[in-house]
């Protein structure tokens, strides 16, 4: 057999394989099912159900990964938020631009989060400012009675 015959035979085999694969593909797409027997249709149905199962499994894996990533982001943002809030409360300082900028750079905190922390700090300061006169009155009453420790 010469080279030309081998090439012709290989081309014929490839054309036949292509035709066979086109038929299988059209059957998998639900087209041209007239040539299939009941057993063939049942086998095709089982094959498609198994393929659909694998697709749904992969979809669930991707959704689980996205959910895990979202939970991680929320946890990280909550951690940053509470760290900022704790710092503001413990130091009794405003969240100035330098502090917010530092956290934005180091922990990728959004400008909205810094604004929220500033608002909370403002509210806390307002509460502290409004309670301070009450504290002074109570301290004066306690000192007038001879007690120096407001806890006792």
Q: Is residue 64 part of a domain?
A: yes
Q: How many domains does the chain have?
A: 1
Looking at every residue in the chain, the average pLDDT score rounds to: 76
Q: Is residue 8 part of a domain?
A: no
* pLDDT in the model for residue 129: 72
146 CB-contact burial (10 Å; exposed 0-12 / middle 13-18 / buried 19+): exposed
Within 10 angstroms of residue 121's Cβ, the number of other Cβ atoms is 19
Q: Is residue 83 part of a domain?
A: yes
Using CA of residue 89, residue 94, residue 96, residue 98, what is the dihedral sign?
Answer: negative
Query: Comparing 70 with 92, which gets the higher pLDDT?
Result: 70
pLDDT tens digits for range 60-90: 999 999 988 888 887 777 677 666 666 665 5
Q: Is residue 24 part of a domain?
A: no
Cα distance between residue 70 and residue 62, in whole Å: 12
* pLDDT in the model for residue 70: 87
Range(s) of the domain holding residue 101: 43-152
Q: Is residue 115 part of a domain?
A: yes
Q: Is residue 127 part of a domain?
A: yes
Q: Is residue 100 part of a domain?
A: yes
Q: Is residue 6 part of a domain?
A: no
Query: Comparing 92 with 2, which gets the higher pLDDT?
Result: 2
């Amino acid at each position: 057999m010469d080279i030309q015959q081998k090439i012709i035979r290989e081309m014929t085999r490839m054309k036949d394989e292509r035709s066979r694969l086109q038929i299988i593909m059209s059957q998998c797409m639900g087209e041209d099912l007239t040539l299939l027997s009941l057993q063939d249709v049942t086998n095709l149905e089982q094959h498609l159900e198994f393929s659909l199962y694998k697709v749904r499994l992969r979809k669930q894996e991707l959704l689980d990964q996205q959910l895990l990533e979202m939970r991680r982001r929320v946890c990280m943002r909550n951690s940053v938020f509470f760290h900022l809030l704790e710092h503001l409360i413990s130091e009794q300082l405003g969240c100035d631009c330098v502090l917010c900028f530092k956290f934005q750079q180091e922990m990728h905190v959004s400008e909205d989060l810094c604004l929220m922390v500033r608002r909370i700090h403002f509210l806390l300061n307002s509460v502290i400012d409004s309670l301070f006169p009450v504290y002074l009155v109570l301290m004066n009453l306690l000192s007038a009675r001879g007690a120096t420790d407001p806890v006792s």
